[in-house]
Structures are given as C-alpha cells and as structure tokens.
Amino acid sequence: MSFSMKEKIKQQEKLIIFTAPSGAGKTTIVRHLLKTLDYISFSTSATTRDKRPHETNGKDYYFISHEEFKQKIADDEFLEWEEVYENQFYGTLKKEVKRIWAEDKQVIFDIDVKGAESIKKAYPEKTLAVFVKPPSKEVLFDRLRKRKTETEASLKKRFARAERELAYEDKFDTVLLNDVLEEALEDAEEIVKNFVYGDEKMIDIA
C-alpha cells in the first residue's frame, strides 16, 4: 500500500525544537521556517511575564497569571515548564501539541535549553532538538545589548544565563551555527526537511 506524503506526515507525528541562549537567533530562524514550510506549526508557550508592546496574546505567548500557571502545574497540563527567571515562568501546554498534531502538522518549538531537554526526554523517538550556536559569546552579548529591551540588572541576568546555556551545545541532536543569517536559514530548512521527510523529502506532497 502506498501513501501520499501528507498521509506519511500524519502517520509520523514529530516535534522539532530550536533551542539556544537568548540572542542566538532561534526565534528569527523559527519565524522563517514557519513562513517557508507549510507542514509545521508553532507551539505557543504559556508565560507569566508581562506582554511586550509588539506581542500578541495567543500568538507569541499565552500570557497568564502566576495563579493560573501554578494551577495548570497542579493539574498536570504542562509537557514541560520552568521558572526561567525569578518569579517568571514558561511552559508548553500538552493541549497545544495535541492541537497541532490534530491539524496533521508537525510541531515546532522555540524554547530554552531545559525545556528542550524535557521534551526530548518525553518524546525521544519523535523529537529533533537543534541547538542554535552564536559565532561567539561576545557576539551573543552584543546582540542582547542591541535589543535595548532590558534594564541593566535584567541584562546582567540574561548574560549569566546565556553563558550557562552555551554549555548545553553537546546535549542536543545537531548544532546550527548562526553566523551568516542567510546560510543559517538555508541550513535550518534542510535540517527540518531531512527530519520530517527522510528519504522521501523529494517526493511531491499529494
């Protein structure tokens, strides 16, 4: 019995993680993939942090209160969650993954390294975890400074966390160097296509 590519994708539910320290460029890469590849869909995380002016609730994050977040923890609604900064929680809702799979699409994540580890542990056979590596620590810190979205105190916290997270490079399936952005975007597309399609990636989707 032969299957169309769409049917093969439906049979093989997968999770694609892009993880990195803040400022390494994983969000830019994921946004590009979402515009380019129609068989993936973004897993929107829940967070207790304040919404930034350019962000949309339900698209960038589900912005919820600390009380609601903690209740969801108690109710076992998260696939993974973490207190990333003091009193600032992030997590992946189980229902978000189920929603995307129900649409016959693959799930793509833009999450921190510990969240990536948790998802990889929960679905080891279904998950590809990609670590986005900046050219150097100095370049990473410079990118964070240029955002101008942090106070000096919060920027220092991000620097310290980013330095710790750079040590996670060898814990994931593959490393994507983000030095020249155009090259990193092309490499990211190839990595995802290889994981989703394997040897079938050149077959036209029915």
- 183-194 burial, b at 16+ Cβ within 10 Å, e below that, comes to ebbebbeebbee
Q: Give me the number of domains the chain comprises.
A: 1
Question: Which pTM value belongs to this model?
Answer: 0.82
In a domain, 24, yes or no: yes
DSSP assignment of 149-163, as one string?
A: -S-HHHHHHHHHHHH
pLDDT for 201 beyond 50: no
Is 1 domain-assigned? no
Give a yes or no: residue 123 inside a domain: yes
CB atoms within 10 A of CB 9: 20
Whether residue 203 is contained in a domain is answered as no
The pLDDT of 172-186, averaged and rounded, is 96
| pLDDT greater than 80 at residue 2 | no
**159 pLDDT higher than 90:** no
- What single DSSP character describes residue 205? P
CATH assignment at residue 132: 3.40.50.300
Within 10 Å of residue 81's Cβ, how many Cβ atoms?
Answer: 22
103/109 Cα distance (integer angstroms): 16
The tens digit of pLDDT for each residue in 99-139 reads: 999 999 999 999 999 999 999 999 999 999 999 999 888 88
Domain assignment present for 34: yes
Mind listing the pLDDT tens digit for each residue in 35-87? Answer: 999 999 999 999 999 998 889 999 999 999 999 999 999 999 999 999 988 88
Say whether pLDDT at 153 is over 60: yes
- Given a cut of 70, whether residue 93 has pLDDT beyond it is yes
What's the burial of 24, exposed, middle or buried (CB within 10 Å: 0-12/13-18/19+)?
buried
Tell me the residue range of the domain where 156 lies: 12-196
Tell whether 206 is covered by a domain: no
pLDDT at 149: 64
Residue 161 near residue 49 (C-beta atoms within 8 A): no
Residue 26 belongs to a domain: yes
